[in-house]
Amino acid sequence: MATERTFSILKPDATKRNLTGAVNAVIEKAGLRIVGQRRIQMSQAQAEKFYEIHKERPFFGELVTFMTSGPVVVQVLEGENAVAKYREVMGATNPAQAAEGTIRKTFSESVGENTVHGSDSADNAKMEIAQFFQDSDIVG
């Protein structure tokens, strides 16, 4: 398996609780390299675009409100099999179902405020990275 990139967001519940370093430590311990990273305030338009696929879901409004409620850290992670690897490191979407040692099991309080986002496929990773990063801001 070749080196791959995935897109990550440390969500407002992470920045609010000062957990960005703690979450990054889990990411790096798993062997993923943080090759791009920026702290931003997501606008409503950016959040709506990013989560467009969920726009018919009942939690869409809540999701956009949460993602714009405070700073987030957008990241590009690189490593062998990075997309699948990061999903394993994050744990299940619902922290109640996440495995021991995963980011969501360790840090998350609810399915809505679940600390991290990670791409679900290599194609989506490319699109998500392109929404928030220029090539020159990613240094591998």
59 marked among binding-site residues:
yes
Question: Which residues ranging from 45 to 104 are in contact with ligand CMP (CB under 6 A)?
Answer: 54, 59, 62-63, 93
Is 117 one of the binding residues for ligand CMP (CB under 6 A)? yes
DSSP 2: -
Contact between 5 and 80 (Cβ < 8 Å): no
Is 112 one of the binding residues for ligand CMP (CB under 6 A)? yes
Task: Say if strands 33-40 and 3-10 run parallel, antiparallel, or are unpaired.
Answer: unpaired
For ligand CMP, the closer of residues 42 and 135 by Cβ is: 42
Catalytic residue among 117, 118, 128, 132: 117
Determine the straight-line distance between the first and last CA of the chain, rounded to whole angstroms: 17
Is 109 one of the binding residues for ligand CMP (CB under 6 A)? no
38 marked among binding-site residues:
no
Measured distance CA(117)–CA(87) in Å, rounded? 9
Question: What is the enclosing helix (H) or strand (E) of 34?
Answer: strand 33-40
Which residues form the interface with ligand CMP (CB under 6 A)? 54, 59, 62-63, 93, 111-112, 114, 117
